[in-house]
Amino acid sequence: MDLNEGEVYVLLGPNGAGKTTLAKTICGILLPEKGDVLINGESVVKNPRIAKEKVGIVFEEVRNTYHYLTVEANLKYFGYLNCIPKKVLDQRINK
């Protein structure tokens, strides 16, 4: 499966189909039993940090954000926690 920058993808399927497992594997949270996930040609298995730098995901039914903050404030907060430089973070948020 090839995913292109700037596009939004949705995984659809019945319960137990492996949607969450696939998403967690892409994010480097789970390691695949076989194969690999490549992001810009770099292995998530060998370098899970690449997924943290390049992939954004929100899992359903999990408090991933602070509901009382705006979307921008949440992005800034978590960006600061992940030591993303202010200039880079502002560019990403604006994009």
Average pLDDT over residues 58-78: 80
User: What angle is formed at CA 9 by the lines to CA 92 and CA 23, rounded to 5 degrees?
Assistant: 90
pLDDT of residue 64: 63
Q: What pLDDT does 63 receive? A: 67
**Would the pLDDT of 58 be above 90?**
no
Predicted pLDDT at 53 = 84
**With 70 as the cut, is the pLDDT of residue 62 above it?**
no
Delimit the domains of the chain by residue range: 1-64, 66-95
pLDDT mean across residues, the chain: 87
SS3 content of the chain, % helix, strand, coil (to 5): 35, 5, 60
Its pTM stands at 0.59
